[in-house]
């Protein structure tokens, strides 16, 4: 449970070296959110900052767990009570190495377990094996990301790591992959527009990974000039759909030639599955399947569709997760019998097989590229004493991409203000998940099987 600090990769590689599994947690999560992940992942130790130690302690209490906490200190403050200090542990040269176990792992062993809600329901542990990740790094190399991050005798590429390492994008594409190709990683623990723009110039950042809100900011912020972007060689956008206008505004600011491409991926696919080759002309496409990856577009009955027909994207390849941890029901929903993985995204492929993402079939909401699972917010809403039922959908938002909108049914005879319910939710979830708008309704539209008919809500209220 860490922000992007330089110790993060040390912790990550240390866990792998000790034969452990890394499960990352957003450091702005509440105790309510953290306790769930602690239990689901059967955590053995928590590594965090002194600032978030209180939340971790509370989460451990709710989860009735008693496991060690290790803190990373960025100043000389004393180590908080009840914690071990990472900095002291890693500087201890008197460790008796003979007590370290000889760790043997196979490519099939789990290495990384971030959380994703997938197509439906609550966040689930995504089991990624060593092979999944290594395969994806090779696929990234193959699509020419490597050419932009080669370390030579005279040059070392510099990559900005502001996208969080706790999310698959920052963890895999930036932290692990960039270490594997010898690039320099410049970490930024908290996003601050001016400092970020200044850092691009100061550290001569030439490889940049962004999500749409960052590109929007880079195009519009007065502190971002062509000088700010003078070292850029490669910019890759992913995690959410990018508005054409935001992309154009940014491209107009950069006055030299550089490689701009959109990549598509998911937590469940380590993440990269689609990316255009260098020199793509069509900037809104996410290109073709990366090497050793199969992709197909299907209708609701899983029948293959032809070129320019929109349907769900299914993929198969060595980067596709082992499965959701201890969740056979969710696994049977996302994997077909012949192991095609259902992405829950609507796409079409043109005559050349070049793919464009058009919409999301799954219920997941993406706020600034971060996952907000409606089921999670609905569960919190139903915990409110005056609420009997609730449904949450994503609606377009000018800066965040999407924002959660809730439909709430009150218990008969009960009264509650929208603001009070919003506050109730705010206390239980991280700030980016907060509900933007609440609409009181008499009932939630549901299928015969009891599934919320989000499409109907969207059609009626969006």
**Residues found near ligand 4UV in the complex (CB under 6 A):** 116, 168-169, 172-173, 236, 238-241, 262-267, 271-272, 286, 343, 345, 357, 360, 366, 369, 371
Query: What is the smallest separation between the CB atom of 370 and ligand 4UV, expressed in angstroms?
Result: 7
Catalogue the E-assigned strands of 140-250: 158-161, 184-187, 207-210, 234-237
At closest approach, how far in Å is the CB of 374 from ligand 4UV?
A: 14
Min CB(171)–ligand 4UV separation in Å? 9
Q: Give the span between the Cα atoms of 164 and 134, in whole angstroms.
A: 20
- Complex with ligand 4UV: residue 200 or 367, whichever CB lies closer: 367
**Which of residues 167 and 184 has its CB atom nearest to ligand 4UV in the complex?**
167
* Smallest distance, ligand 4UV to C-beta of residue 223, A: 26
Shortest spacing between CB 433 and ligand 4UV, in angstroms: 13
In order of 224, 330, 386, 404, the CA distances from 408 in angstroms are: 42, 26, 10, 13
Whose CA is closest to 207, among 274, 156, 250? 156
Gap between the terminal Cα atoms of the chain: 35
Cα dihedral: 203, 204, 208, 211 (round 10): 60
Q: At what angle do helices 244-253 and 212-220 cross, to 10 degrees?
A: 50
Strands in 254-413 per DSSP E: 259-262, 264-265, 272-275, 288-289, 294-298, 311-316, 323-324, 341-349, 355-360, 365-367, 370-372, 387-397, 401-410
Nearer to ligand 4UV, 83 or 404 (CB): 404
Give the DSSP letter of residue 411.
P
Is the Cα dihedral 425, 44, 104, 11 positive or negative?
positive
C-beta separation of 373 from 393 below 8 A: no
The residue number with the shortest CB distance to ligand 4UV is 238
User: What does the alpha-carbon distance between residue 311 and residue 300 come to, in Å, rounded to a whole number?
Assistant: 8
Q: What is the DSSP string of 45-106?
A: -EEE-GGGHHHHHHHHHHTT----EEE--SSSPPPPTTEEEHHHHHH-TT--GGGS------
How near is the Cβ of 9 to ligand 4UV at its closest, in Å? 16
Please say which residue, 432 or 440, places its beta carbon nearer to ligand 4UV.
432
Distance CA 82, CA 406 (A): 40
Kindly state the smallest distance separating residue 208's Cβ from ligand 4UV, in Å. Answer: 12
Q: How far is the CB of 443 from ligand 4UV (least distance, A)?
A: 29
CB of 3 to ligand 4UV, least distance (A): 18
Q: At what angle are helices 53-62 and 31-40 packed, to 10 degrees?
A: 60
Q: Exposure string (b/e) for 305-321, b if CB count within 10 Å is 16 or more?
A: beeeeebbbbbbbbbbb
Please provide residue 257's backbone torsions phi and psi, each rounded to the nearest 5 degrees.
Answer: -65, 135
Which H/E stretch holds residue 126?
A: strand 124-129
Nearer to ligand 4UV, 132 or 262 (CB): 262
User: Least distance from C-beta 239 to ligand 4UV, angstroms?
Assistant: 4
Supply angle C-alpha 358, 364, 367, rounded to 5.
85
Residue 249: enclosing H or E segment and its boundaries? helix 244-253
Q: How far is the CB of 145 from ligand 4UV (least distance, A)?
A: 8
Cβ closer to ligand 4UV: 148 or 384? 148
Measured from the CB atom, is 117 or 441 closer to ligand 4UV? 117
Tell me whether residue 170 or residue 219 sits nearer to ligand 4UV (CB atom): 170
Q: Nearer Cβ to ligand 4UV, position 262 or 327?
A: 262
Taking the least distance from each CB to ligand 4UV, the nearer of 90 and 144 is: 144
Based on CB atoms, which residue is closest to ligand 4UV, 1 or 239?
239
- Return the structure tokens found at 135: 């395969």
């Amino acid at each position: 449970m860490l922000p992007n600090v330089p110790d993060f990769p040390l912790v990550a590689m240390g866990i792998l070296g000790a034969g452990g599994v890394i499960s990352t947690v957003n450091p702005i999560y509440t105790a309510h959110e953290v306790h769930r992940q602690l239990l689901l992942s059967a955590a053995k130790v928590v590594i965090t900052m002194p600032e978030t130690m209180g939340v971790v302690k509370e989460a451990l209490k709710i989860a009735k767990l008693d496991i060690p906490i290790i803190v990373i200190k960025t100043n000389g403050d004393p180590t908080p009570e009840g914690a071990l200090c990472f900095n002291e542990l890693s500087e201890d040269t008197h460790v008796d190495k003979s007590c370290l176990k000889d760790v043997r792992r196979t490519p099939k062993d789990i290495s990384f377990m971030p959380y994703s809600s997938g197509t439906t329901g609550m966040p689930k542990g995504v089991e990624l094996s060593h092979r999944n990740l290594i395969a994806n790094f090779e696929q990234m190399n193959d699509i020419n990301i490597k050419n932009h991050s080669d370390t030579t005798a005279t040059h070392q590429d510099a990559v900005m790591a502001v996208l969080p390492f706790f999310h698959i994008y920052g963890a895999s594409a930036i932290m692990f992959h960039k270490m594997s190709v010898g690039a320099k990683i410049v970490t930024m623990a908290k996003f601050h527009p001016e400092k970020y723009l200044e850092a691009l110039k100061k550290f001569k950042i030439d490889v940049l990974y962004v999500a749409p809100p960052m590109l929007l900011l880079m195009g519009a912020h007065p502190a971002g000039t062509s000088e700010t972007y003078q070292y850029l060689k490669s910019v890759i956008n992913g995690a959410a759909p990018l508005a054409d206008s935001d992309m154009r505004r940014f491209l107009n600011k950069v006055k030299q030639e550089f490689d701009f491409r959109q990549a598509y991926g998911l937590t469940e696919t380590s993440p990269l599955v689609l990316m255009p080759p260098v020199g793509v002309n069509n900037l809104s496409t996410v290109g073709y399947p990366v090497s050793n990856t199969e992709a197909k577009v299907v209708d609701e009955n899983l029948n293959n569709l032809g070129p320019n027909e929109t349907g769900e994207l299914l993929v198969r390849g060595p980067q596709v997760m082992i499965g959701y941890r201890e969740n056979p029901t969710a696994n049977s929903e996302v994997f077909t019998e012949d192991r095609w993985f259902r992405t829950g995204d609507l796409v079409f492929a043109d005559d050349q097989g070049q793919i464009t993402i058009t919409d999301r079939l799954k219920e997941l909401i993406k706020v600034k590229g971060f996952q907000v699972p409606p089921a999670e917010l609905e569960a919190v809403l139903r915990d409110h004493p005056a609420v009997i039922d609730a449904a949450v959908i994503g609606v377009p938002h000018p800066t965040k991409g999407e924002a959660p909108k809730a439909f709430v049914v009150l218990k008969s005879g009960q009264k509650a203000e929208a603001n009070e319910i919003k506050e109730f939710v705010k206390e239980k979830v991280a700030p980016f998940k907060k509900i933007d708008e609440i609409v009181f309704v008499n009932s939630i539209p549901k299928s015969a099987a009891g599934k919320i008919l989000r499409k109907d809500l969207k059609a009626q209220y969006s």
